[in-house]
Amino acid sequence: MADVLETQIRQIGRELAAAMPSMSRHPLKALDDRALHLASEDASLRAALFRFVDVVPACRSLDDLARHLTSFLAQVDERPPPLEAALRVAETRPGRAALGAAAAAGVKHIAHRFIVGETPREIAGMLRSLWRRGVATTVDLLGEATMTAGEADRYAQRCRDALEELAGVYAGLPGRPALERDGAGPIPRANLSVKVSALTPLLRPDAPELGERDALDRLRGLAELADELAAHLHIDMESLDSRDAVLAVVLDLLSEPRFAPGPSTGVVLQAYLRDSPEQLERILEWSRRHPRPHPLVVRLVKGAYWDHEVIEAHQHGWPTPVFEDKAACDRNFEALTRRLLDARPAVRVAVGSHNLRSVAHAIAYNRMTGGDDRDLELQVLRGLGDELQDALAARGLRVRTYCPVGDLVSGMAYLVRRLLENTANESFLHERARGAQLEELLVAP
Ligand SMILES: Cc1cc2nc3c(=O)[nH]c(=O)nc-3n(C[C@H](O)[C@H](O)[C@H](O)COP(=O)(O)OP(=O)(O)OC[C@H]3O[C@@H](n4cnc5c(N)ncnc54)[C@H](O)[C@@H]3O)c2cc1C
């Protein structure tokens, strides 16, 4: 069985790689990748760039921007010649303005690769075009940290507006059977990803109940509207300090009798957490006790806050809650994938990854155990998984692309997480950009 699975994984991995559009057709993207690659080679340059990206939204003028850029770059230990040249340019005021303009354009250019527009309305055309190409989406509204009840209300209102907008966008589009029906029944077209931390200013690990109640009140309104519009609501997972509260909010909400019929809802499981297998058992137990016409969707990811969790644990002298060995994390991801696929129809399964091995493993195991392709959803992030998205759609698999919308200022935290992920040495995309052989990337972790 294990040998057959491995053979299938290699086969599917090769087929997907062959179906990916060539990088040469995206010259600008290839340029970005080279820039990201350069950043990943030098730790101090990488740190300087991250600090710079953080302050860009606070800069008031190009001169200001260039001053920040040069002060960050001045901290880089060994500067390659282009950096030396940039620092010399910045010695005069006109030089600083020119450098500032170039830096601002660069940050915007990279940001637009990940952040598709400022509002759901602005990206309506793109959402429709993806659907026509066989790609479903989930929209994420980027926001700054929620510090007041007013900000939480505003975020909830933006979510309501987005749900209405998305329901309108997807009405009247041609049928795409692979995207809108599986063995459990119809799958909503409109899909919104929501952050519980943005729905309340009160979410604190030391006093979770208050924040949970506050978030629940706002989430309830969203769930009612999603149900009315037959839309899907997906609750993202953030750092570990809010994990238990987020899950409690979602499961408490869905346990209310009025939400037993709907809406379709989903949660996220982070495989980088050592205790994720127990977390999954908790979710499965709840799902078995609460059968729903729209089974709870579980989106399995590795986790986007790895650096944060490691640093936080070290600072407090706590044991790290995340795996520190990438292969162990990947093995856990595969074990959780199998456990989830075996647990259907109690849950619907979505695998969120850009790692060809992790994705091919999910497809192969599903097929080997008699599952239909339509009973597995594969999810990617806009900007990072574009080629994989096209390859999956071309092979008729169910793919959903996560599309963040918002302005550059509120998108900065998102952008930094994506940059960290993309330039981490052990990341699949980084290995691939470095030219690692496909067969090497497909071996069992
Ligand atoms: C549609 C979608 C939705 C998402 N939603 C969420 C969400 O709600 N919450 C969330 O946290 N993330 C979310 N993510 C982000 C996801 O966690 C990252 O994209 C993912 O971690 C990258 O993994 P990969 O399989 O694509 O790449 P890979 O390169 O295979 O894995 C990279 C990941 O491995 C882990 N890792 C890195 N180094 C080590 C190490 N030394 N030891 C152990 N583990 C390590 C980290 O999690 C890192 O991000 C989402 C992703 C997608 C595609």
Q: What is the pLDDT of residue 36?
A: 63
Alpha carbon of 383 to ligand 1 centroid (Å) = 14
What is the atom index within ligand 1 of the atom nearest the CA of 430?
29
pLDDT winner (highest mean) among 76-80, 87-91, 190-194: 190-194
Range in 73-77, 130-134, 285-289, 431-435 with the lowest mean pLDDT: 73-77
> Is it the case that residue 381 has pLDDT exceeding 50?
yes
pLDDT confidence bin for 264, thresholds 50/70/90: very high
pLDDT tens-place string over residues 292-347: 999 999 999 999 999 889 988 999 999 999 999 999 999 999 999 999 999 999 99
Across 212-232, average pLDDT: 97
Does residue 27 have a cis peptide bond before it, meaning omega lies within 30 degrees of 0? no
Range in 47-51, 124-128, 358-362, 371-375 with the lowest mean pLDDT: 47-51
Sequence-separated (6 or more) residues with CB below 8 Å from residue 404: 114, 115, 116, 139, 140, 141, 142, 382, 411, 414
Task: Quickly count: other Cβ atoms within 10 Å of residue 436's Cβ.
Answer: 12
> In the chain, helix, strand, coil percent, each to 5?
60, 10, 25
What is the atom index within ligand 1 of the atom nearest the CA of 427?
29
Bridge-based pairing of strands 265-270 and 185-186 is: unpaired
Alpha carbon of 325 to ligand 1 centroid (Å) = 13
Alpha carbon of 26 to ligand 1 centroid (Å) = 24
Alpha carbon of 271 to ligand 1 centroid (Å) = 8
Alpha carbon of 301 to ligand 1 centroid (Å) = 6
pLDDT confidence bin for 417, thresholds 50/70/90: confident
User: E-assigned strands of 120-177?
Assistant: 136-141
Q: What is the pLDDT of residue 238?
A: 93
What is the atom index within ligand 1 of the atom nearest the CA of 328?
43
Is the pTM of the predicted complex or chain greater than 0.75? Answer: yes
Alpha carbon of 97 to ligand 1 centroid (Å) = 37
Residue nearest to atom 51 of ligand 1 (CA): 352
Residue to probe by mutation, ligand 1, list 232, 234, 301, most atoms within 8 Å of CB: 301
Percent of the chain with pLDDT over 70: 90
Q: What is the pLDDT of residue 110?
A: 74
Residue to probe by mutation, ligand 1, list 138, 141, 302, 325, most atoms within 8 Å of CB: 302
Q: What is the pLDDT of residue 95?
A: 78
What is the atom index within ligand 1 of the atom nearest the CA of 352?
53
Q: What is the pLDDT of residue 80?
A: 67
Residue nearest to atom 39 of ligand 1 (CA): 326
What whole-number distance in Å separates Cα of residue 415 and Cα of residue 116?
Answer: 12
SS3 for 181? strand
Bridge-based pairing of strands 185-186 and 181-182 is: antiparallel
> Is it the case that residue 120 has pLDDT exceeding 60?
yes
Residue type, 230: A
> Is it the case that residue 206 has pLDDT exceeding 60?
yes
Across 117-121, average pLDDT: 91
Percent of the chain with pLDDT over 90: 64
Alpha carbon of 4 to ligand 1 centroid (Å) = 27
pLDDT tens-place string over residues 1-16: 789 999 999 999 999 9
Residue nearest to atom 3 of ligand 1 (CA): 352
Q: What is the pLDDT of residue 58?
A: 72
Alpha carbon of 303 to ligand 1 centroid (Å) = 4
Mean of per-residue pLDDT scores for the chain? 88
- Specify whether the CB–CB gap between 213 and 148 falls below 8 A: no
Alpha carbon of 64 to ligand 1 centroid (Å) = 34
> Is it the case that residue 106 has pLDDT exceeding 80?
no
Ligand 1 neighbours, Cβ below 6 Å, are 236-237, 268, 270, 272, 299, 301-306, 323-326, 329, 352-355, 358, 379-381, 402, 421, 424, 426-428
> Is it the case that residue 369 has pLDDT exceeding 90?
yes
Residue nearest to atom 24 of ligand 1 (CA): 353
Q: Which residues pair with 404 in a beta bridge?
A: 140
pLDDT tens-place string over residues 12-57: 999 999 998 765 445 455 556 666 666 666 667 667 776 776 777 6
pLDDT winner (highest mean) among 55-59, 128-132, 426-430: 128-132
What is the atom index within ligand 1 of the atom nearest the CA of 236?
8
Residue nearest to atom 36 of ligand 1 (CA): 326
Residue nearest to atom 52 of ligand 1 (CA): 352
pLDDT confidence bin for 354, thresholds 50/70/90: very high
What whole-number distance in Å separates Cα of residue 49 and Cα of residue 419?
Answer: 10
Q: What is the pLDDT of residue 25?
A: 46
What whole-number distance in Å separates Cα of residue 389 and Cα of residue 401?
Answer: 7
pLDDT confidence bin for 289, thresholds 50/70/90: very high
Q: What is the pLDDT of residue 35?
A: 63
